[in-house]
Structure formats: C-alpha cells, structure tokens
C-alpha cells in the first residue's frame, strides 16, 4: 500500500485497496441519487475539506462555550495536532463522502493513555466526530462511528473513549445511543 501524509499522518492513498481489517460499511442513500460512503483520508483530495470541517466544528463548540477560540485561529495547529496524534497513537482520519462533497469526518487513535499514573491502561480515543449541519440526522454519524469502532477493534483496542462538552446535548445523546456511558466529569467555575 502506498502511504501519503497529511503533516505526517499515515493514511491510505486514493485507489488503494482497503486493508482487510478495515472495510467501509455499506453506503447509505441520502437522497434518491446520492449515497454516502466512508473512506480513508486522502491528503491531496481532502485537506481543504478537513480544514473546513475543523473550523466549523470549533465554531460550533464556541457557540456552546464562548471562551473557546475561533475556528480560524486554531485550525492549523489543530490539524498538526491530529497528525501527531495519529502518528504517535496508531490513528487515522476517515471522511464521509456524499456525491461530490465531503460531509463529515472522524479521527480515532487506537492506543493512547492518560498522563496520570493512576489509570495506566491504554484505550482508543475518538478525537473528533463531525457531520455538516446539512447532513445531520441522516445516519452519516452512525457510519462514521461504526468505522471508528471497527478500526479501533482491528488495532486491538478493548475500550473506546471520547470527550464531549456538557452543553453538547445532541452529541451526548448520540454517544448514549451508541452505547457510551458517562465516565468522568470535568467541572468549571469562572474566577472573577
Ligand atoms: C454529534 C454529531 C456527529 C451527531 O450526528 P447526528 O447526525 O446529529 O446524529 P443523530 O441525528 O443520530 O442525533 C443523535 C441524537 O441526538 C438527538 N437529537 C436529534 N436532533 C436533535 C436536536 N436538534 N437537538 C438535540 N438533540 C437532537 C436524538 O436523540 C438523536 O438520536 P435519535 O436519532 O435516536 O433520535 C453531529 O450532531 C455533529 O457533527 N455535531 C457538531 C459537532 C459535534 O458536536 N461533534 C461532537 C463533538 S464531541
């Protein structure tokens, strides 16, 4: 398989056969003519779309938590961060393709761990799962989650975790629907 790189992340090149342990799920049909498929990130084709998605996702979070920085302000550093995470923790980015358009993505790493020594067991971690507002409620996120799980399992992970803002009720319901239970709680208090 030829690997290409987004800032160093290992991904499948376009046209590559899928690895035997990571196959795209069955496509869903969004409308009469257009199916959605999940495929591996391709730097040449997807970098601009991934950038747009990250900016929109960050601004979505910023609407919930206004102290968070603007999407444009963080996107370059965040893409480099995802790249490093994928490289260091056996991760990948997968894109949801709907006809000509990229409508979402997921970034999952297979093996990471907390920094504190009190919980040393490695786990898989979903850094991001995002679907464009126009395509929410249609099953695209279900497909992305299924592929992220399939990838994590194929890499030997036994636990899958993620973080979510408390105010992100839709995402929290989505995760509950997919069998996640709430695990830790981070509290915040403004100090005047
Ligand atoms: C989180 C996300 C990927 C989920 O994808 P989705 O297509 O919206 O998922 P679903 O439509 O299955 O919605 C999940 C659940 O939220 C609830 N929900 C649906 N519409 C809702 C709405 N307008 N408001 C609140 N909750 C809603 C429902 O309980 C739904 O489950 P159901 O289908 O069994 O009824 C997507 O909403 C998204 O990209 N959000 C912005 C980015 C984000 O928050 N990412 C996660 C960061 S942790």
Do the domain assignments include residue 54? yes
Q: Does pTM surpass 0.85?
A: yes
Do the domain assignments include residue 150? yes
> Residue 28: what are its φ and ψ, rounded to 5°?
-105, 155
Question: How confident is the model over 78-121, as pLDDT tens digits?
Answer: 999 999 999 999 999 999 999 889 999 999 999 999 888 888 79
Protein residue with its CA nearest to atom 27 in ligand 1: 170
* Contact residues of ligand 1, CB 6 A cut-off: 57, 60, 129-131, 136-137, 140-141, 164, 168-171, 173-174, 177
Q: Is 92 helix (H, G, I), strand (E, B) or coil?
A: strand
Look up the domain containing 46 and give its range.
3-12+26-177
Neighbours of 160 (CB within 10 A): 20
Instruction: Identify the pLDDT of residue 21.
Output: 34
Number of domains in the chain: 1
Ligand 1 centre distance from Cα of residue 3 (Å): 33
Do the domain assignments include residue 17? no
Do the domain assignments include residue 153? yes
Identify the bridge partners of residue 37 per DSSP, sorted by sequence position.
97
- Spatial separation of the C-alpha atoms in residues 114 and 78, rounded to whole Å: 19
Do the domain assignments include residue 192? no
Residues of the chain short of pLDDT 70, as ranges, are: 1-33
Do the domain assignments include residue 190? no
CA distances from 175 to 16, 26, 70, 91, 111 (A): 31, 21, 25, 20, 20
164: CATH: 3.40.630.30
Do the domain assignments include residue 36? yes
Contact 117, 165 (CB under 8 A): no
């Amino acid at each position: 398989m030829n690997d290409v790189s987004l800032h160093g992340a290992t991904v499948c090149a376009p046209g590559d056969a899928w690895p035997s342990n990571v196959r795209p799920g069955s496509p869903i049909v969004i409308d009469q003519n257009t199916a959605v498929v999940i495929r591996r990130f391709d730097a040449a084709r997807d970098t601009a779309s991934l950038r747009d998605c990250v900016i929109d996702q960050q601004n979505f979070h910023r609407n919930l938590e206004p102290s968070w920085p603007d999407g444009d302000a963080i996107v370059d550093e965040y893409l480099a961060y995802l790249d490093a995470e994928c490289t260091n923790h056996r991760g990948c980015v997968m894109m949801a393709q709907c006809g000509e358009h990229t409508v979402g993505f997921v970034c999952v790493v297979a093996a990471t761990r907390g920094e504190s020594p009190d919980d040393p067991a490695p786990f898989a971690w979903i850094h991001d799962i995002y679907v464009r507002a126009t395509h929410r409620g249609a099953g695209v996120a279900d497909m992305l989650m299924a592929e992220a799980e399939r990838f994590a399992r194929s890499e030997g992970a036994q636990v899958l975790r993620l973080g979510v803002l408390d105010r992100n009720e839709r995402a929290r319901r989505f995760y509950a629907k997919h069998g996640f239970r709430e695990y830790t709680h981070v509290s915040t208090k403004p100090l005047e």
